[in-house]
Amino acid sequence: MRRRRAGSSHGFDKNAEEIRKHSHPSEKDCEPELTHPTHGSVICSQGNDYKSVCKYSCDEGYQLSDPESTVVVCTGKKWSAKKPVCVAVPTN
Band of the pLDDT at 68, cuts 50, 70, 90? Answer: confident
Amino acid at site 29: D
| pTM exceeds 0.85 | no
Least trusted range by pLDDT, from 3-7, 16-20, 23-27: 3-7
User: What CA–CA distance (Å, rounded) separates 88 from 37?
Assistant: 13
Q: Is the dihedral of CA 73, 74, 80, 86 positive or negative?
A: positive
